[in-house]
């Protein structure tokens, strides 16, 4: 979780305290109105209607602030905006309180104690430095009121007519000023420590959320791997079970004497068993190759300056006999020589061989397989195009999955494990490239490989995680000395 989110949490905390402050202010406004109504009956005639007007004024601006706060819940104002709301409200409260003090006896007013209450409440929402400034302003206001009433600039309004403004007022001013600053100091000390502990707890909560999210991602990946592994095992078992069943049946016919091994029928059964065994061996070989590529990414024999043109020419040369036996023309179109900065030559050869071998295998007699190599300053592109049987449109999205073979491919030849394209894709992805396919049923297939020339081998934990698809979080957890946390501590 970043500092923006942390600031939002702190903003929510101030927002909640402001709403609580609004409720207190409504109680204060109600108290002023009630005091104004009942004061004359208890011998305080000066309270009517002055405190009634003050109470209505407090309720009015409280409603305005309440509307603003309810707007912040939907609009999401910043932490700084909420602090300004606190300062504005306390300033208005203290100004109103100063007027009420004047209306209720000046330095003899019992309302003077509410200055101290406001200092304590404000310290829970603002920095201590800010509250010292507010306290200084409040003290100047109180002292100014005392001076104005002492000099006769303001008419003293005693609660009862028998109270005369005199030297006792001087004695009341000093304790009030000391109490105001003392309250800010004591409340600030306690609040700062409490807030610091609260910030530390919030940081710990953020870190816990962060670790929990990371753990959830790991668990999801493990579950996905388990699902993939289970599916893979089911498919593999199915692919192995069918030829094994055929081999077992053929051997039982021969061992139980239903057919003579030297007869034509017996020879046919034996040849079928050998063919199925060869198919099983091919599947096992491809499975082992795929597992080796997937699990040995960092341990693979990565080499510098891998000449792709040379590798591809070597594969083409080795597959010429296979093409000739099927009467398929193997036509290379080699552009400028290209070399990868890093690569695994055996895996690249295996991928090229699978793709070109598939193109030959699924071509018709007399067909063509065109192998094209193009390169730029950034990447090398290899295209393997045939005019063979093609791939049905509904299967083109799945042909890079294990053991997927189109029905027309199975009819065309029994050879094939359904692992050639997955192996090729795995190799290309490990080298930082991509593979794509364009095919039309009955007309042929073109497979395109794109490999970056400047790809780096997977060395170190970070690159290995990237190869496995693990996303490492980049967010930083705020500390008690930075950003929103520093503001919260004051």
DSSP string, 437-460: EEEETTTEEEEEEEEETTPPP--S
Rounded Cα–Cα distance for residues 358 and 249 (Å): 30
Tell me the CA distances in angstroms from 330 to 348, 351, 364, 384, 442, one per residue in order. Answer: 19, 17, 13, 10, 19
pLDDT at 72: 60
Element (H, E) at 334: strand 329-334
- Closest to 139 (Cα-Cα) out of 97, 187, 188: 97
* β-bridge partners, 382: 373, 449
Residues 6+ apart with CB under 8 A from 202: 6, 9
Q: What is the pLDDT along the chain (490 residues), one digit of tens a residue?
A: 445 555 566 677 788 888 888 899 999 999 999 999 998 888 787 788 989 999 999 999 999 998 888 776 544 567 778 888 899 999 999 999 999 999 988 888 888 889 998 899 888 888 889 999 999 999 999 999 989 988 889 888 887 766 655 555 666 778 888 888 888 888 888 887 877 787 788 788 888 988 999 999 999 988 877 776 666 666 666 567 767 877 888 888 888 888 888 888 888 888 888 877 877 787 777 677 767 666 655 556 788 889 999 999 999 999 998 899 889 999 999 988 899 999 888 889 989 998 998 899 899 889 999 999 999 989 999 999 999 999 998 888 888 877 777 787 777 776 666 777 888 898 898 899 999 999 998 899 999 999 999 988 875 433 444 444 444 343 333 444 444 334 433 4
Label residues 377-386 b or e (16+ Cβ within 10 Å = b): eebbbbbbbb
| 3 state SS of 381 | strand
Residue in 387, 362, 404 with CA at minimum distance from that of residue 440: 387
Structure tokens at 9: 């949490």
Q: What is the DSSP letter of 108?
A: G
3-state SS class at 16: helix
Euclidean distance between CA atoms 174 and 172, whole angstroms: 6
Which residues contact residue 414 at a Cβ distance below 8 angstroms, ignoring those fewer than 6 apart? 275, 279
CATH 3.30.565.10 intervals, the chain = 297-467
Is the Cβ–Cβ distance between 372 and 382 less than 8 Å? yes
Sheet holding 329-334, edge to edge: 329-334, 368-375, 379-386, 444-452, 434-440
CATH topology for 297-467? Answer: Heat Shock Protein 90 (3.30.565)
For strand 379-386 and strand 368-375, is the pairing parallel, antiparallel, or unpaired? antiparallel
Cα atoms in the Cβ-side hemisphere of radius 13 Å centred on 96: 25
Exposure of 196 by Cβ count < 10 A (0-12 exposed, 13-18 middle, 19+ buried)?
A: middle
Q: How many CB atoms lie within 10 A of CB 99?
A: 17
Neighbours of 390 (CB within 10 A): 20
Which pLDDT does position 472 carry in this prediction?
Answer: 39
How confident is the model at residue 328, as a pLDDT? Answer: 93
Strand partners, 446: 385, 438
Burial class (CB in 10 A: 0-12, 13-18, 19+), 423: buried
């Amino acid at each position: 979780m970043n500092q923006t989110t942390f600031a939002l949490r702190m903003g929510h905390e101030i927002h909640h305290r402001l709403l609580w402050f609004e409720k207190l202010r409504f109680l204060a406004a109600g108290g002023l109105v009630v005091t104004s109504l009942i004061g004359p009956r208890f011998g305080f005639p000066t309270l009517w209607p002055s405190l009634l007007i003050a109470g209505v004024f407090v309720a009015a601006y409280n409603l305005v602030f309440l509307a603003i706060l309810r707007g912040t819940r939907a609009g999401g104002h910043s932490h700084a905006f909420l602090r300004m709301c606190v300062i504005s409200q306390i300033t208005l409260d203290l100004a109103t309180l100063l007027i009420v003090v004047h209306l209720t006896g000046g330095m003899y007013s019992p309302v003077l104690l509410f200055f101290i209450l406001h200092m304590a409440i404000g310290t829970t929402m603002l920095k201590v430095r800010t509250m010292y400034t507010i306290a200084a302003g409040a003290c100047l206001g109180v002292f100014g009121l005392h001076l104005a009433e002492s000099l006769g600039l303001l008419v003293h309004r005693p609660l009862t007519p028998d109270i005369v403004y005199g030297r006792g007022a001087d004695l009341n001013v000093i304790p009030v000023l000391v109490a105001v600053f003392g309250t800010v100091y004591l409340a600030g000390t306690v609040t700062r420590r409490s807030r610091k502990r609260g910030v530390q707890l919030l940081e710990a909560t953020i870190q816990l959320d962060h670790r929990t999210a990371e753990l959830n991602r790991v668990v999801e990946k493990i579950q996905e791997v388990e699902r993939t592994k289970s599916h893979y095992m089911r498919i593999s078992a199915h692919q192995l079970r069918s030829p094994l069943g055929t081999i077992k049946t053929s051997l039982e016919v021969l061992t139980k004497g239903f057919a003579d091994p030297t007869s034509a029928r017996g020879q046919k059964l034996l040849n079928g068993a050998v063919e199925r065994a060869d198919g099983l061996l091919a599947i096992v070989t491809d499975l082992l190759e795929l597992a080796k590529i997937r699990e040995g990414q960092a341990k693979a024999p990565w080499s510098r300056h891998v000449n792709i043109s040379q590798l591809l020419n070597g594969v083409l040369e080795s597959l010429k006999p296979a093409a000739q036996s099927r009467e398929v023309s193997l036509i290379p179109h080699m552009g400028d020589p290209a070399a990868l900065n890093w690569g695994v030559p055996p895996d690249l050869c295996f991928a090229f061989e699978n793709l070109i071998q598939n193109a030959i295998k699924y071509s018709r007699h007399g067909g063509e397989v065109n192998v094209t190599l193009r390169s730029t300053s950034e990447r090398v592109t290899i295209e393997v195009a045939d005019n063979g049987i093609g791939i049905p449109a509904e299967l083109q999205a799945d042909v890079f999955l294990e053991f997927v073979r189109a029905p027309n491919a199975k009819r065309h030849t029994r050879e094939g494990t359904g692992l050639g394209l997955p192996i090729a894709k795995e190799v290309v992805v490990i080298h930082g490239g991509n593979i794509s396919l364009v095919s039309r049923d009955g007309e042929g297939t073109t497979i395109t490989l794109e490999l970056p020339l400047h790809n780096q081998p997977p060395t170190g934990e970070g690159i290995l995680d990237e190869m496995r698809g693990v996303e490492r979080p980049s967010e930083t957890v705020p500390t008690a000395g930075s950003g929103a946390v520093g503001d919260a501590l004051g």
